[in-house]
């Protein structure tokens, strides 16, 4: 029957008198994806139960906000991303009031008021206001040309800017920020992405996948700056650029803010509804008012706020059930994200932070740009990250969501559903044994299974022997597991153990890693882990500091020191003590000090109430009992007096111990104090495989104990005797004599060459004593004393690296480290839902 009047219809229940029946009026605030999907679900259950009116802030019908990026990129038109056209509203008798958002709710009278002054009563009110973009509060944020990326009007603004060409800056390396950058880049703009965190899309991706994504985007011509903090947006009448807190200025005619979103709660809060991070709802999506419901990004359920599509759809189904008295209830969501970020496949699900009881299964295929990581706890998948190949994402997510026991699939799980389903319960040795003889084992070198087996049959009993015999596993190392399994299948217990690997994360040893870093030109920790097929996502406390050091040594000036890969003492420039406080050791060149330095130390001791100051064995003062939060201020005060870190905590030069030498001592033959100061000023600040100590004694009486130091100088009448490899620790080792030189300049030159040889060839955490015992003192003499050209090259490389490390940033670095641990809890990064 026809519509008779507002809220009435002639449709009657079966068997009831044919009289008009009043329909309840549902008013929906928000014409976006969540609000309209809720109406769709309601219509599917009972199309005649409610009369529906939808208020929208935009002038458009309901469209897919997720597809704004393809519109920006020119891959789709607006009409192609429309979800519900005008015919849908008409056919379902839905009144759409567009370009007129609701601005007030009178809950007692059950009336809403719009911006134009229209008022309308409701029986049930559904709030689906979504999220608001977070605009970082920096100077210039209100300049023309600063826009967000949330709706079609933002896309229109970006298209207009792109039509003029020029530079664009996108602040935020989440999904929307990267999509905005991709679209603007395709439109011909030069794009720079600024991201505060060190990893792109850090909520969806771990460090390894984030590095792959960054590398891929940079290869497409974008500039990606991670760990970058915006200070201000420059311009007078319009945007002209962005200045970072480190002083970098980036030109821009448009700045896109895509740093995060906040639930849009202002309307609900003004109406007196319960609001936390979002509008608080129960399992039926009902707010603190029984006649008001809410759904989508604007809501908070059980303390959680969701920004992904799947949870919103689950909410809409529960809401529609409640409106027709089914009351199925919403129980929260386990989320997964399968996206195509700028044409790159990415998938993540669950918790990939790891932690106690969790283990990682990792597959890296550098040549294909594929990275897969599964986090397993108690034989259940709890998290997954896939990059480059997301075909099995749905299967992994189903196993995660159902909490299936994967112990029987464990060995084959990372290879995907087809592989695991076919052989997941088989013995991995049997699977390898079943391979045909012509099956490829090592793709890098084109080695088949038959060739590996033939190599083993000829006497190769270890991994190194196979590598030497047929080159299998000798390049990228990704087939190491297969080769080791073939060894085990062929030889059983006769397999010989190879050299110790760097750690449990890799099959490579320290020397292999160092060689490959240089040979392949690797420039970051994630790149090393990807290219060398690390078996863990982010490494461990053993390999990360080592990789950080190896990259620092290989790329002086080009590699940015990763502070989070350092031990806490090195990060804080202080020694942590058993009570949780720190000791601070400022440097005293050659053990010499001055009234100014002593005054500065005394002032720090009094100002920060340090309970003890002690003279160290390295001829300087150690300030004990400093609180962690006071370290930046302590170093600021010491820096102001010209004092830098003594590195009493670091894998670096510790001290240069001296005696007073010829200037004061009647036995002194040379100016040992002056030489010691020169050597210390030359070598301080250099990171090394382990701690490094130097001493210069003014005569053979050796008061500075030069013959138990890593590098020792003993002055004699005719010159300087140099020795290396001493250790005065638990295992005392006297130095090996290196050579004798005639001048101070030569002593310093030989010292620089020896330090650089140690830096380049020793393994991380290997002192000079065991290193020399491993390679032999004759090798050291051949490289330093006997090879003048090689010695000069080593010394030159050392001095070059020192030109980048001998800065004085200790107070700033400690303060930066403290800032990096601060959490930005006020907003959440962009999810998959626009």
Matching residue, tokens 């994967």: 406
Say which range, 294-303, 530-539, 681-690, 699-708, has the weakest mean pLDDT: 530-539
Between these two residues, 704 and 333, which has the higher pLDDT value? 704
| pLDDT score recorded for residue 226 | 95
In a domain, residue 42? The reply is yes
Mean pLDDT along residues 73-87: 90
| pLDDT score recorded for residue 268 | 98
State the pairing for strand pair 692-697/711-716. Answer: parallel
Between these two residues, 21 and 258, which has the higher pLDDT value? 258
| Distance separating alpha carbons of residues 529 and 539, to the nearest angstrom | 8
**In the sheet that 254-257 helps form, which strands lie side by side, from edge to edge?**
146-148, 254-257, 167-171, 190-195, 223-226
Question: Predicted confidence band at 807 (pLDDT cuts at 50, 70, 90)?
Answer: low
Structural domain count, the chain: 6
Mean pLDDT along residues 463-488: 74
Matching residue, tokens 């800017």: 161
Binding site annotation covers 298?
Answer: no
Do 21 and 125 belong together in one domain?
Answer: yes
In a domain, residue 617? The reply is yes
The per-residue pLDDT for range 435-450, each reduced to its tens digit, is 668 666 775 556 778 8
The DSSP H or E segment spanning 237 is: none
Mean pLDDT along residues 603-614: 94
Do 677 and 800 belong together in one domain?
Answer: yes
| pLDDT score recorded for residue 532 | 87
| CATH code of the domain covering residue 639 | 3.90.480.10
Do 27 and 71 belong together in one domain?
Answer: yes
In a domain, residue 478? The reply is yes
In a domain, residue 718? The reply is yes
Is-contact 711 748, C-beta < 8 A? no
Between these two residues, 432 and 423, which has the higher pLDDT value? 432
Q: Final residue of a domain: which of 272, 301, 323?
A: 323
In a domain, residue 810? The reply is no
Question: Predicted confidence band at 623 (pLDDT cuts at 50, 70, 90)?
Answer: very high
Nearest partner of 328 among 30, 629, 45, 628, judged by Cα: 45
| Distance separating alpha carbons of residues 450 and 411, to the nearest angstrom | 23
| pLDDT score recorded for residue 8 | 35
The per-residue pLDDT for range 110-130, each reduced to its tens digit, is 999 999 999 999 999 999 999
| pLDDT score recorded for residue 465 | 78
| Distance separating alpha carbons of residues 334 and 604, to the nearest angstrom | 52
Between these two residues, 446 and 791, which has the higher pLDDT value? 791
| Distance separating alpha carbons of residues 600 and 633, to the nearest angstrom | 13
| Distance separating alpha carbons of residues 439 and 423, to the nearest angstrom | 17
Q: Could you tell me the residue range of the domain that residue 688 belongs to?
A: 653-805
Alpha helices, DSSP H, located in 557-684: 568-572, 595-607, 631-640, 672-683
Tokens of 427: 């013995």
Neighbours of 826 (CB within 10 A): 9
In a domain, residue 329? The reply is no
The DSSP H or E segment spanning 9 is: strand 8-9
Binding site annotation covers 699?
Answer: yes
| Distance separating alpha carbons of residues 211 and 226, to the nearest angstrom | 10
Question: Predicted confidence band at 13 (pLDDT cuts at 50, 70, 90)?
Answer: very low
Nearest partner of 346 among 225, 506, 479, 178, judged by Cα: 178
| pLDDT score recorded for residue 444 | 52
| Distance separating alpha carbons of residues 732 and 202, to the nearest angstrom | 47
In a domain, residue 449? The reply is yes
Would the pLDDT of 605 be above 60? yes
Binding site annotation covers 442?
Answer: no
Nearest partner of 25 among 154, 99, 123, 118, judged by Cα: 123
| CATH code of the domain covering residue 389 | 3.30.390.30
Matching residue, tokens 């004699």: 716
| Distance separating alpha carbons of residues 501 and 488, to the nearest angstrom | 18
| pLDDT score recorded for residue 833 | 30
| pLDDT score recorded for residue 763 | 94
| pLDDT score recorded for residue 455 | 87
Would the pLDDT of 283 be above 70? yes
Question: Predicted confidence band at 204 (pLDDT cuts at 50, 70, 90)?
Answer: confident
Question: Predicted confidence band at 747 (pLDDT cuts at 50, 70, 90)?
Answer: very high
| pLDDT score recorded for residue 175 | 86
The per-residue pLDDT for range 659-674, each reduced to its tens digit, is 998 888 989 999 999 9
| pLDDT score recorded for residue 14 | 40
Using only C-alpha atoms, the chain has a radius of gyration, in whole angstroms, of 34
Would the pLDDT of 428 be above 60? no
Say which range, 19-33, 136-150, 165-179, 203-217, has the weakest mean pLDDT: 19-33
Would the pLDDT of 826 be above 50? no
Would the pLDDT of 217 be above 70? yes
Neighbours of 128 (CB within 10 A): 30
Would the pLDDT of 814 be above 60? no
The per-residue pLDDT for range 328-377, each reduced to its tens digit, is 899 998 777 776 676 788 889 888 877 778 899 999 988 788 999 999 99
Between these two residues, 546 and 617, which has the higher pLDDT value? 546
Binding site annotation covers 444?
Answer: no
List Cβ neighbours of 682 (8 Å cut-off, separation of 6 or more). Answer: 748, 751, 752, 799, 802
| pLDDT score recorded for residue 492 | 79
Mean pLDDT along residues 541-555: 93
Do 488 and 636 belong together in one domain?
Answer: no
| Distance separating alpha carbons of residues 165 and 161, to the nearest angstrom | 7
Matching residue, tokens 């989320």: 335
- In 105-118, which positions are buried (b, 16+ CB within 10 angstroms) versus exposed (e)? bebeebebebeeee
777-784 vs 788-805: helix crossing angle, rounded to 10: 90
Q: Final residue of a domain: which of 259, 277, 307?
A: 259
| pLDDT score recorded for residue 699 | 95
Do 358 and 412 belong together in one domain?
Answer: yes
Q: Final residue of a domain: which of 426, 460, 495?
A: 426
In a domain, residue 823? The reply is no
| Distance separating alpha carbons of residues 106 and 84, to the nearest angstrom | 29
Do 682 and 797 belong together in one domain?
Answer: yes
Burial class (CB in 10 A: 0-12, 13-18, 19+), 611: exposed
| CATH code of the domain covering residue 772 | 3.30.413.10
| pLDDT score recorded for residue 811 | 52
Is-contact 81 68, C-beta < 8 A? yes
Burial class (CB in 10 A: 0-12, 13-18, 19+), 19: exposed
Neighbours of 686 (CB within 10 A): 23
Is-contact 690 707, C-beta < 8 A? no
Do 601 and 701 belong together in one domain?
Answer: no
| Distance separating alpha carbons of residues 511 and 168, to the nearest angstrom | 44
Q: List strand residue ranges (DSSP E) for 378-462, in order.
A: 380-387, 440-442, 447-448
| pLDDT score recorded for residue 748 | 96
| pLDDT score recorded for residue 478 | 57
| pLDDT score recorded for residue 812 | 54
| Distance separating alpha carbons of residues 669 and 697, to the nearest angstrom | 9
- In 214-238, which positions are buried (b, 16+ CB within 10 angstroms) versus exposed (e)? bbbbeeeebebbbebebbebbbeee
| CATH code of the domain covering residue 501 | 1.10.10.1100
CA 196 centroid distance within chain = 11
Is-contact 726 702, C-beta < 8 A? no
CA distances from 764 to 152, 511, 644, 656, 779 (A): 54, 10, 25, 22, 19
Would the pLDDT of 708 be above 70? yes
- What would the DSSP string read from start to end of 437-505? TT-EEETTTTEEHHHHHHHHHTT--SHHHHHHHH-TTSSS-TTHHHHHHHHHHHHGGGPPP-SPPSSTT
Do 605 and 730 belong together in one domain?
Answer: no
| Distance separating alpha carbons of residues 536 and 544, to the nearest angstrom | 11
Is-contact 255 158, C-beta < 8 A? no
Say which range, 90-99, 228-237, 424-433, 743-752, has the weakest mean pLDDT: 424-433
Mean pLDDT of the chain: 87
Would the pLDDT of 421 be above 90? no
Would the pLDDT of 101 be above 70? yes
Tokens of 215: 């590398």
Do 278 and 254 belong together in one domain?
Answer: no
| CATH code of the domain covering residue 315 | 3.50.50.60
> DSSP 3-state assignment of 554?
helix
Mean pLDDT along residues 520-533: 90
Give the percent of the chain with pLDDT over 70.
Answer: 89
Do 685 and 781 belong together in one domain?
Answer: yes
Matching residue, tokens 């947006």: 233
Do 511 and 608 belong together in one domain?
Answer: no
Do 231 and 312 belong together in one domain?
Answer: no
Question: Predicted confidence band at 497 (pLDDT cuts at 50, 70, 90)?
Answer: low
């Amino acid at each position: 029957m026809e519509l008779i009047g507002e809220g009435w219809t002639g449709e009657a229940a079966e068997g009831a008198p044919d009289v008009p029946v009043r329909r309840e009026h549902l008013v929906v605030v928000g014409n976006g994806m969540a609000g309209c999907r809720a109406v769709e679900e309601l219509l599917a259950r009972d199309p005649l139960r409610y009369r529906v009116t939808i208020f929208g802030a935009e002038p458009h019908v309901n469209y897919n906000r997720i597809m704004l990026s393809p519109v920006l990129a020119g891959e789709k038109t607006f009409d192609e991303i429309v979800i519900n056209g005008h015919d849908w509203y008409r056919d379902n008798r839905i009144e759409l009031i567009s370009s007129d958002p609701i601005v007030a709710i009178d809950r007692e009278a059950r009336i809403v008021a719009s911006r134009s002054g229209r008022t309308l009563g409701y029986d049930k009110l559904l709030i689906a206001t979504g999220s608001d973009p977070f605009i970082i509060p920096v100077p210039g944020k209100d300049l023309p040309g600063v826009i967000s990326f949330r709706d079609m009007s933002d896309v229109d603004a970006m298209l207009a800017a792109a039509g003029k060409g020029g530079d664009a800056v996108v602040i935020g390396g989440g999904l929307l920020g990267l999509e905005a950058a991709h679209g603007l880049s395709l439109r011909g703009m030069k794009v720079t992405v600024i991201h505060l965190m060190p990893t792109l899309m850090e909520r969806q991706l771990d460090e390894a996948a984030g590095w792959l994504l960054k590398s891929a985007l940079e290869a497409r011509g974008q500039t990606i700056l991670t760990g970058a903090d915006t200070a201000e947006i420059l311009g007078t009448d319009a945007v002209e650029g962005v200045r970072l807190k480190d002083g970098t200025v980036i030109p821009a005619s448009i700045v896109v803010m895509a740093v995060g979103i906040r639930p849009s709660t202002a309307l609900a809060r003004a109406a007196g509804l319960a609001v936390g991070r979002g509008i608080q709802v129960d399992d039926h999506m009902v707010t603190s008012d029984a006649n008001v419901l809410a759904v989508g990004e604007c809501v908070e359920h059980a303390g959680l706020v969701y920004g992904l599509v799947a949870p919103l759809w689950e909410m809409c189904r529960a809401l529609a059930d409640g409106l027709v008295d089914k009351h199925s209830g919403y129980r929260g969501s386990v989320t997964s994200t399968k996206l195509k970020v700028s044409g790159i496949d990415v998938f993540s699900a669950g918790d990939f932070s790891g932690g106690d009881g969790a283990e990682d299964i990792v597959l890296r295929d550098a040549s294909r740009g594929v990275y897969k990581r599964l986090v397993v706890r108690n034989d259940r998948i709890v998290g997954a990250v896939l990059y480059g190949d997301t075909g099995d994402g749905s299967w992994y997510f189903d196993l995660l969501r159902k909490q299936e026991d994967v112990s029987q699939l464990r060995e084959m799980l990372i290879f995907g559903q087809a592989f695991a389903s076919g052989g997941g319960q088989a013995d991995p040795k049997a699977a390898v044994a079943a391979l045909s003889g012509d099956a490829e084992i090592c793709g890098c070198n084109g080695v088949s299974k038959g060739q590996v087996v033939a190599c083993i049959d000829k006497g190769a009993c270890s991994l190194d022997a196979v590598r030497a015999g047929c080159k299998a596993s000798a390049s990228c190392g990704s087939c190491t597991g297969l080769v080791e399994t073939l060894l085990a299948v062929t030889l059983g217990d006769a397999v010989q153990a190879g050299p110790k690997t760097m750690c449990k994360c890799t099959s490579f040893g320290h020397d292999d890693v160092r060689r490959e870093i240089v040979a392949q030109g690797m420039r970051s920790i994630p790149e090393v882990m990807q290219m060398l097929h690390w078996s863990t996502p982010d490494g461990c406390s053993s390999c990360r500091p080592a990789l950080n050091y190896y990259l620092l040594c290989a790329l002086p000036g080009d590699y940015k020191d990763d502070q989070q890969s350092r031990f806490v003492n090195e990060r804080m420039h202080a020694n942590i003590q058993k009570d949780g406080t720190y000791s601070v050791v400022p440097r005293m060149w050659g053990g010499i000090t001055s009234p100014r330095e002593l005054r500065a130390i005394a002032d720090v001791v009094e100002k920060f109430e340090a309970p003890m100051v002690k003279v160290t064995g390295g001829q300087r003062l150690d300030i004990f009992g400093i609180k962690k939060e006071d370290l930046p201020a302590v170093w600021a005060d010491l820096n102001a007096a010209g004092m830098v870190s003594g590195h009493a905590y670091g894998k670096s030069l510790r001290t240069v111990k001296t005696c007073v030498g010829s200037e004061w001592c009647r036995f002194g033959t040379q100016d040992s104090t002056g030489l010691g100061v020169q050597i210390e000023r030359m070598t301080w600040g250099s990171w090394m495989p382990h701690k490094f100590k130097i001493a210069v004694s003014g005569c053979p009486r050796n008061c500075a104990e030069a013959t138990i130091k890593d590098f020792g100088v003993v002055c004699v009448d005719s010159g300087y005797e140099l020795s290396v490899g001493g250790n005065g620790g638990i295992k005392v080792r006297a130095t090996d004599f290196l050579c004798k030189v005639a001048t101070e300049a030569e002593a310093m030159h030989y010292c620089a060459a020896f330090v650089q040889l140690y830096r380049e060839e020793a393994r991380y955490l290997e002192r000079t004593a065991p290193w020399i015992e491993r390679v032999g003192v004759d090798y050291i003499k051949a490289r330093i004393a006997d090879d003048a050209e090689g010695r000069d090259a080593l010394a030159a490389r050392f001095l070059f690296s020192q030109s980048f490390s001998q800065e004085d940033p200790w107070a700033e670095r400690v303060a930066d480290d403290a800032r990096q641990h601060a959490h930005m809890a006020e907003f959440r990064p962009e999810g998959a839902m626009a």
